[in-house]
Structure 1
Amino acid sequence: MAIQSNPYPLRVEKSIMDKFKVIAKENGRSVNKEIEALMKSTITEYEKTNGTISVPDSALNHNAETQ
């Protein structure tokens, strides 16, 4: 799977980020990779209940253009 750059500014309380950094470190991941792992887990659980999420072709084409 290709890694796609899709920067998204994240505003979060410092105390939450500090705790999240500890979790990421304990899991052997960067904060970015920990966020990605959580997103994948959330998507998997959502799709188990609600079915596969369809992503419009226009969104896929946009991601390919930004690489």
Structure 2
Amino acid sequence: MATDKRAFTMRMQEENFQKIKYIAEHNKRSIAMQIEFLIESCISDFEKQNGHIPLQPSATDNQ
């Protein structure tokens, strides 16, 4: 299954992991999708307060 999502390793405290896992299960999401949802919510809140975040093309965009 091809995806355009960037993979990376994330480390977090065990307590935070267990709580995210609980929330993800409650929302019927995978842990990864719950974390992605939370990140998107944080970005949206930031942009509402501070304006749009301009993106610059990365080196991998042309591959």
TM-score range with shorter-chain normalisation? 0.7 to 0.9
Partner Cα separation in structure 1 for residue 54 and residue 9 of structure 2:
25
Which blocks of at least 5 consecutive residues in structure 2 are unaligned?
A: none
Change (3 A) 1:19 1:50: same
Percent identity between the aligned chains? 30
CA deviation map 1:1-45 (0-9, x unaligned): xx5231121111222211110001101100010011011101111
Alignment of 1:1-67 (within 5 A): 3-57=3-57, 59=58, 62-63=60-61, 65=63
Alpha-carbon contact 1:4-1:63 (below 8 Å) kept: no
Partner Cα separation in structure 1 for residue 40 and residue 19 of structure 2:
20
**TM-score normalised by the chain length of structure 1:** 0.77
Query: What is the DSSP-based 3-state SS (H/G/I as helix, E as strand, rest coil) of the residue aligned with 1:17?
Result: helix
**TM-score normalised by the chain length of structure 2:** 0.81
Instruction: Give the root-mean-square deviation of aligned CA atoms.
Output: 1.7
Task: State the 4+ residue runs in structure 1 displaced beyond 6 angstroms.
Answer: none
